[in-house]
Structure 1
């Protein structure tokens, strides 16, 4: 049986132990093909009930008493759950709050300031030259703000940064290395332990962007010896549009790092309202403003599901989905001039697949008109984000068939 035979997709779905979870997601029963789960995950049906209950009960009935009944602690209690289930992080090192951009700024600034205070010769900030735009823009901004030099690591568009490559770049002047665990274009899966060791051997700190990996691939921050990490919650954690990000700071750094956005929630005694700022002990010192309670509701349902299923099973399904998509691309799209722009080895590939062709921008627009929703990334990249718990093999087959038809018509 060939990959293109619909019966192959049916057999894969029948053998999938996670297939039953698909029905838990809003819209999964429709013929719409959703290939953009790595940008915005589908909502869970349970989330509608949670939001309704929150408005009518916790907010509507308890009102301001809610702050004393759990809201104030939600950034750290939810952070601990994310850390335990998905990050390999012991309690007290992960928090939720602010956007990905703001958290990247806060933790990167704290890291370079600490390094400069420790050694004024640490004047370089290392970042991949094809990393996500926010990461690069923030690196440029912080370098200008703190009088640092940027050191760019050349990234293969279909790959990422390797440990030996990083070792050639870092040195006694490196303050901080900022890298993505899964590359946003290619889905290249970086070697977390080896890259962390390479940064540390040079005396540098490392900040991991986990936005395209958390909830899709296993992460072991404590085991890696990672210093800092940030990730978003509206992709594979299904937290909804603009849901707040999470940050991780290894416990050994809590007393040494001073985050640059001091706010009342990060104060040792938030309600003292005193004249000076004293940072809270532990991970709370990295909080700034009032916790975004509404923004933390939806992700709790997906987190509960991930805790039940386990990240190992999610990763196995993810590998199977992306492997099947690559097989269909080889059979249907390569003869039309397309090429794989992601690692072929599934052990080096995250949860999405990118297919390259010069006409993919037009293909994407045509597909959206047909309720087939992939993503487009220059240059010429059709990006297929296959969220393991809400995507079926039949959906992949139907979507790739539509891609073939749209590309053939160009």
Structure 2
């Protein structure tokens, strides 16, 4: 393999060298320094400074950490806020996108991650719009379409969509587009600002390594913030949250996407985890991810009963998905042997490759374990 410009980054993670961890597309590994940073938050910021910490940096944390995430998804400062969960942020985004529309439908990726489909259906029911599922590779947007919801990387197959082309197609039909970046943030260069994306959401506990249940993020471009009217008008989204006035007036900027009190401990754990991205070029991350997945694919293609369902082209995320009739049992046995991927019913094995810490040697160990089982 060529020299790995990211090899040194692995040392920043707390990993067991006896385990091959290929499930970073579900839960990223912890950077070593996060535990000590969280201890400081609990002992000093909370335990020592008590409520004074709110005015010593806590209150602005969602926007500050949002800007750090924004750098990784192509958003200039002031357009990303970290808050709530992906599902909650998606609800905000879709409701804001269809507010006041005279159009009649929401279009959703037919293979979408289930929660996206559930939220989209709830929004359709609440607003009286129709919900139409489509294959995004044959996207059909009509004058009736108010908004299109798309997953940048398919969670099951790893297929990557062309954000530029599909965003342009939706806009040409007068529709807005909301992108779910859960499986692409921290995987490849994303250019939300340059491509004119209307709204985007994503989680931080996968390739961004924020920890289990770490808060999600929402992107609202500067030009759209004045018209971003989301339905969850909580006090922290108010322009003067501590004025405690009876009427709601939204913050003029991206803070209007906030709802309730920030999850400070989780958010500051994410803040610490994002340090591993300092000095990292996403082009290097993307190049290594494509090389890792190509190498692993070359080792597992042709194994008995295995069908590779991840695209054999650059139009993929950083995972390799295999179909096998005994997928659930195979993954259970792989985990017993120290190779951790995951299973998606009924018959899919997923192996996620995080370029910041996964190695080519780990790809070979995983493939050899699978071959031995088969």
Name the TM-score, length of structure 2 as normaliser: 0.97
Match of 1:354 among 287, 311, 321: 321
Contact 2:83–2:216 under 8 Å retained in 1: yes
Q: Name the CA shift for 1:319/1:302 in 2 (closer, same or farther; >3 Å).
A: farther
Contact 1:239–1:297 under 8 Å retained in 2: no
Instruction: Extract unaligned runs of 5+ from structure 1.
Output: 1-11, 155-160
Contact 1:196–1:206 under 8 Å retained in 2: yes
1:9 maps to which residue?
none
2:182 maps to which residue?
211
* CA distance in 1: counterparts of 2:339 and 2:161, whole angstroms: 30
Structure 1 residue ranges (4+ consecutive) displaced by more than 3 angstroms after TM superposition? none
Shift of 1:322: 0.6
* CA distance in 2: counterparts of 1:101 and 1:249, whole angstroms: 16
* CA distance in 1: counterparts of 2:288 and 2:12, whole angstroms: 17
Pairwise mapping of residues 301-320 of structure 1 onto structure 2 (< 5 A)? 301-320=272-291
* CA distance in 2: counterparts of 1:17 and 1:143, whole angstroms: 46
CA RMSD after TM alignment? 1.2
1:288 maps to which residue?
259
* CA distance in 2: counterparts of 1:335 and 1:317, whole angstroms: 24
Pairwise mapping of residues 399-410 of structure 1 onto structure 2 (< 5 A)? 399-406=366-373, 408=374
1:106 has 2:87 as partner: no
Contact 1:238–1:298 under 8 Å retained in 2: no
Shift of 1:378: 2.6
Shift of 1:312: 1.2
Q: Secondary structure at the match of 2:321?
A: strand
* CA distance in 1: counterparts of 2:111 and 2:5, whole angstroms: 37
Q: Secondary structure at the match of 1:308?
A: coil
Shift of 1:57: 1.3
Contact 2:110–2:133 under 8 Å retained in 1: yes
Cα-to-partner distance string for 1:303-335 (whole Å, 9 max, x where unaligned): 2221311211111111111111111112xxx24
Q: Secondary structure at the match of 1:187?
A: coil
Shift of 1:337: 2.1
2:14 maps to which residue?
26
Match of 1:68 among 35, 43, 55: 55
1:93 maps to which residue?
79
2:33 maps to which residue?
46
1:127 maps to which residue?
108
Match of 1:328 among 299, 311, 316: 299
Cα-to-partner distance string for 1:57-111 (whole Å, 9 max, x where unaligned): 1111111111111111111111112112x11111111000001110001111111
1:342 has 2:310 as partner: yes
Shift of 1:252: 1.6
1:372 maps to which residue?
339
Shift of 1:204: 0.5
* CA distance in 2: counterparts of 1:148 and 1:25, whole angstroms: 46
* CA distance in 1: counterparts of 2:104 and 2:223, whole angstroms: 23
Match of 1:170 among 141, 148, 152: 141
Shift of 1:230: 0.2
* CA distance in 1: counterparts of 2:334 and 2:109, whole angstroms: 32
Cα-to-partner distance string for 1:14-33 (whole Å, 9 max, x where unaligned): 822211221221124x3111
Shift of 1:239: 0.6
Contact 1:124–1:175 under 8 Å retained in 2: yes
* CA distance in 2: counterparts of 1:301 and 1:350, whole angstroms: 25
Cα-to-partner distance string for 1:255-275 (whole Å, 9 max, x where unaligned): 112111011100111111111
1:78 maps to which residue?
65
Match of 1:239 among 172, 189, 210: 210
Cα-to-partner distance string for 1:189-224 (whole Å, 9 max, x where unaligned): 111111000110111100000000000111000111
Cα-to-partner distance string for 1:261-304 (whole Å, 9 max, x where unaligned): 01110011111111111111110111000111111122223322
* CA distance in 2: counterparts of 1:390 and 1:403, whole angstroms: 21
2:250 maps to which residue?
279
2:163 maps to which residue?
192
1:16 maps to which residue?
4
Shift of 1:396: 1.2
* CA distance in 2: counterparts of 1:299 and 1:190, whole angstroms: 27
Contact 2:105–2:146 under 8 Å retained in 1: yes
2:126 maps to which residue?
145
* CA distance in 1: counterparts of 2:311 and 2:200, whole angstroms: 24
Contact 1:170–1:202 under 8 Å retained in 2: yes
